[in-house]
Structure formats: C-alpha cells, structure tokens
Amino acid sequence: MNIIGNNKMVENAVQENYYRALNDSKLQSLINNLNVSQEEIKNNVTKLEETLKQLDNCKNCKGLASCLNPSKGCVSYPKNYNNHLEFFYLACRYKKQKIKQDKEKMTQEKVLANASLKDLDTTDKNRYPLIKWVTKFIKEYDNTKSNKGLYLHGNFGCGKTYILACLFNEMKVRGYSTAIVYFPSLLKDLKGDFDSMLDTLNFLDDVDLLLIDDIGAEKVTEWGRDEILGTILQYRMNNMKTTFFTSNFNIPELEKHLSNNGSEPIKANRIIERIKYLTVDMEMVSKNMRK
C-alpha cells in the first residue's frame, strides 16, 4: 500500500474515533470547556479520553499508594494555549499534601542543620533548666563512659528538637557522629525500602548520639515498636550509646500509647524500661515558637 493509502487509513481512523468519542457526555463536557477547534479535538481525542480515565481513577482513590494513574498523584489535563491543546500534570489533593510535607521537611532539616546555641531564644525562663543541662552535657561528655541522654517532653512547638539540635551540632563539631530521626518518617521510610533497612539500622545502632524525635506521633505496630524501636534501644543500651528522645507525651502517656491503649502492656513496658535506662526524664513547657 502506498503512502497516500496509509495516510487515508489513519485519517479515517482518527475521524471514526472522534465521532465515537463525541457520544460520551463526559468527554463532550470536557471539550466544551476547552474552546478549541474541532480539528484540534479530533487530533487529541485519545489523550482526552486518557484524561477522563485518569479522573475516573481519582474518584475512589484512598491515597498515593493506591493511585492507578501513570504519574502517581497526577492527572494529565488539557489546556488551551493559542487554540492548541497542551497537556500538563495536575496534582491531586494527596500529591499536593505530599509536596507541602516535603517542603516543610526540607525547611525543618535546614533549620536544624544550622541550629546553634548562640542563637537560642533565652527570653523564656522555662527553657533555662534544659539549656543548663545541655551546656553541662557538652562540657562533660565522654564517649568512653555511659552518658545518659534526655527524654524531653513538653507542649507542641516549644523548641524541644531545636535545642537538642543545637547540642548535636556542637557535638558534631567536636568530632562525634550524630543523627536526628523523625520517628514516624523513619518507620515509613524503612517499610518503603527494605533493601536499605539493614544499613540504616546499623547506622542508628552505632552513631555516637542519636535523637529519636517525636516518639508517640507514630501509629503503633508490633513491627515498628518491637522489631525496630526495641532492637535499636537494646543495642544502644548494651553498647553505652547516648540516646535522646523528644515527645509531646510524658512517660506514662507514652507507655499507654505504645501499649495500644492498654492492650499490650508488657511489650510497651519493655520499651519504656529501655528509655528510662538510657535517659534523664525532663519536661519543658514553653511558648509555641512555631507561631
């Protein structure tokens, strides 16, 4: 068959596809909103049908993990540019939430990476006992001995993590290895990447100073509590590794949380006893610095 014959077949197929698609009321509604020529619609009818399919996938979607679209959390959506259709990726509410969380995480990590004792807000006297403890710890720390960290609890946004980040940055300058892990994200990341789990856990086991940030904000599972948290704490306890925690829960509240509201008290108590062995319990109630 010659080139003219091939072109004619393609043109007929496009025409047929176009007229068939016009019977779809949803597609017709989408076309009406685009305000482009019939020829432009005809040339893009397959892409427009794909848009409708992706929008349909979104209707009963429960989140990014269950997204059925080729680009997770996005729909290929048409827009009229100078009477021509261009398709771009439109983020769903789950994707937008993930982007926002990622930006906040990056901002938070940058703030903590630059945290310095000289920049601390000391106008609130409720912070004095913690600052005094941190200063003493830096002066007296000896990694050949057992050094207790802190279980630091208090109200939301009062600066618990920031002040401990100041301590960790100072210790890093002095040549010690440090790590700050946001506990809910740690569990999520480990579950999503089993291949690197062993390397991550080995690092958290051996780092000189470890801060487990916001413990109690995670959803409790046997795997996260017993196999991940319990194993890390047992190793660090056995090897005299200094460990810190921040939480909005005091220790009795955390124990209740880890027990799944009382259904697993023995397993929760095992974790709590390790935390008590590793740390000094301190409360800081201060103004919400995030406001």
* Residue 87 predicted with pLDDT over 80: yes
- Mean pLDDT across the stretch 34-49? 87
For residues 108, 109, 114, 120, the Cα torsion angle rounded to the nearest 10 degrees is 40
Helices and strands, number each (H, E), in the chain = 13, 7
Question: Do 164 and 211 meet the contact criterion of CB atoms below 8 Å apart?
Answer: yes
pLDDT tens digits along 110-126:
777 888 888 777 788 88
Q: What whole-number distance in Å separates Cα of residue 200 and Cα of residue 213?
A: 16
For residue 9, name the pLDDT band (cuts at 50, 70, 90): low
- Whether the per-residue pLDDT at 211 is higher than 80: the answer is yes
* Whether residue 8 has pLDDT greater than 60: no
Query: Domains in the chain, please, with CATH?
Result: 3-95 (no CATH), 114-284 (3.40.50.300)
State the pLDDT at residue 173.
93
Task: Reply yes or no on whether the pLDDT at 203 is more than 70.
Answer: yes
pTM over 0.75: no
The pLDDT value given to residue 157: 72
Whole-number Cα distances in Å, 19 to 1, 25, 45, 62, 78:
26, 12, 10, 35, 19
> How far apart (Å, rounded) are the C-alpha atoms in residues 291 and 276?
32
Residue type for 217, please? A
Q: DSSP assignment, residue 121? A: -
User: What local confidence, expressed as pLDDT, does residue 129 receive?
Assistant: 92
The pLDDT of residue 11: 60
Express each pLDDT in 250-263 by its tens digit: 999 999 999 988 88
Q: How far is residue 267's CA from residue 133's CA, in Å, rounded to a whole number?
A: 31
Question: Whose CA is closest to 69, among 41, 99, 94?
Answer: 94
Residue 53 has pLDDT above 80, yes or no: yes
Query: Residue 150: its pLDDT value, please?
Result: 97
CB 163 within 8 A of CB 130: yes
Distance from C-alpha of 171 to C-alpha of 141, rounded to nearest angstrom: 9
3 state SS of 56: helix
Residue among 143, 112, 131, 163 at smallest CA distance from 242: 143
Q: Which helix (H) or strand (E) holds 165?
A: helix 160-173
What is the average pLDDT across 159-170? 92
As a dihedral over the C-alpha atoms of residue 220, residue 221, residue 223, residue 224, rounded to 10 degrees, the angle is -20
3-class SS of residue 91:
strand
pLDDT band for position 13 (50/70/90)? low
| Stretch 199-218: mean pLDDT | 94
Per residue in 177-201, pLDDT tens?
Answer: 999 999 999 998 888 777 788 899 9
Res. 148 pLDDT band, cuts 50 70 90: very high
Least confident of 47-56, 122-131, 146-155, 230-239: 122-131
